[in-house]
Structure 1
Amino acid sequence: MTDTPDAGTPPQQQLNVKFNTITQYIRDMSFENVLSRKPQGSAVQPDVQVQVGLDAKKREAEHQYEVKINLNITSKAKDGTDILFIMELEYVGVFHVEGVPEAQLHAFLLIECPRQLFPYLRRIVGDVTRDGGFPPLNLENIDFLQLYRQEITRRTQQASTETAQA
């Protein structure tokens, strides 16, 4: 007795995904030490807010994509009265991605590519905040899968609202 697939069942295809980082770089960065312009008082407990934005686009070269992470970081005193620093960072990676099905490509670009960039982004944020006169900010891991799901949900709700209003 031999195991053979049913005639009606298509054979499972093994995906041959090729994925590598071509380059990564800071496209734009701003760090403003607001606290340095104010009289120094006692030590302040910071409250850090991090906003993350993602974008991906196809490049002219075949199988190349540009993925951008936008970080907006604001550190305020816990009492909410003073801004300590503001950091804006636009970090870009260029990737070669081949073999990912078209239906999964958008998710792949906005989940897997940022995961590859994140350790470098974390280091830049830590170095810049330290060099800016603060303790180095060590960003917590970002769940890019959750961010992607939230964005899809937001877009779906927005489309539903626009359809209902029309």
Structure 2
Amino acid sequence: MADESSPETNPAPQPNGEDTSPAIGLISQYVKDLSFENPSAPAAFQWQSAPQIDVQFNIAAEGVGDNLFEVTLKIDVTSKADEGTAFVIELQYAGLFGVRNVPEDQLQPFFLAEAPRILFPFARRIVADAVRDGGFPPLLLEPVDFHGLFMQQVQAAQDEGQSEASAPVGQA
């Protein structure tokens, strides 16, 4: 008869019940900085030309304590028409994440792809509300594939590393 308490079926208990499985959790999220400028008001409300909207994203992650990391999603939006700048909005929306037992090589993919995906819907609403409160129709930002963007950056870095590795060094 086989022993039913083999290590394969019943893993050894951890000392003091300590959980050693990897985990990342969102502790808090918040507006870190918000700026809305309406430099051409009230004239901008009478402009007839269609605005050109420029949206830029930037993501930063930094350690702020033991097993605590702040991920900041920065969104800059500029609306320009033929007559001038209608509005400019700058938002830094951040999340505080607790990390436990996660391998170092897994942190960057989480902080640059998954964390912004979690934060984006809330930042999107803040941008829409600020633009509406500034007197313009709400600006609904299109969803962003942060994972796809991260993978493009990884591929570009690998391609750059390969071209540097194959480039001749010095002169023969």
TM-score normalized with structure 1 length: 0.75
- Give secondary structure in 2 for the equivalent of 1:27: strand
Instruction: Write the distance in 2 (CA, Å) between the matches of 1:82 and 1:114.
Output: 32
1:95 and 2:100 aligned:
no
Give the alignment of 1:1-166 within 5 angstroms.
16-36=21-41, 38=43, 41-61=46-66, 63-77=67-81, 80-153=82-155
Instruction: Write the distance in 2 (CA, Å) between the matches of 1:98 and 1:125.
Output: 32
Deviations along 1:83-106, one digit per CA (max 9) or x if unpaired, are 111011111110112343221211
Aligned length: 149
Task: Say if 2:44 and 2:86, in contact at 8 Å, map to a contact too.
Answer: no
Task: Say if 2:27 and 2:95, in contact at 8 Å, map to a contact too.
Answer: yes
- Give secondary structure in 2 for the equivalent of 1:36: coil
The alignment-based identity, stated in percent, is 40
Instruction: Write the distance in 2 (CA, Å) between the matches of 1:157 and 1:81.
Output: 42
Q: Relative to structure 1, is the Cα distance of residues 104 and 47 closer, same or farther in structure 2, using a 3 angstrom cutoff?
A: same
Residue 69 of structure 2 aligns with an amino acid whose one-letter code is Y
Instruction: Write the distance in 2 (CA, Å) between the matches of 1:52 and 1:72.
Output: 7
- More divergent stretch after superposition (149-158 vs 106-115): 149-158
Residue 64 of structure 1 aligns with an amino acid whose one-letter code is L
Instruction: Write the distance in 2 (CA, Å) between the matches of 1:82 and 1:161.
Output: 43
Deviations along 1:72-124, one digit per CA (max 9) or x if unpaired, are 101112xx442111011111110112343221211111111111111110110
Extract unaligned runs of 5+ from structure 1.
1-14
Q: Relative to structure 1, is the Cα distance of residues 34 and 158 closer, same or farther in structure 2, using a 3 angstrom cutoff?
A: farther
- More divergent stretch after superposition (34-43 vs 137-146): 34-43
Displacement of 1:151 in angstroms is: 3.6
Residue 70 of structure 2 aligns with an amino acid whose one-letter code is E
Instruction: Write the distance in 2 (CA, Å) between the matches of 1:157 and 1:76.
Output: 36
Task: Say if 2:76 and 2:88, in contact at 8 Å, map to a contact too.
Answer: yes
C-alpha RMSD over aligned residues? 2.6
Task: Say if 2:47 and 2:83, in contact at 8 Å, map to a contact too.
Answer: no
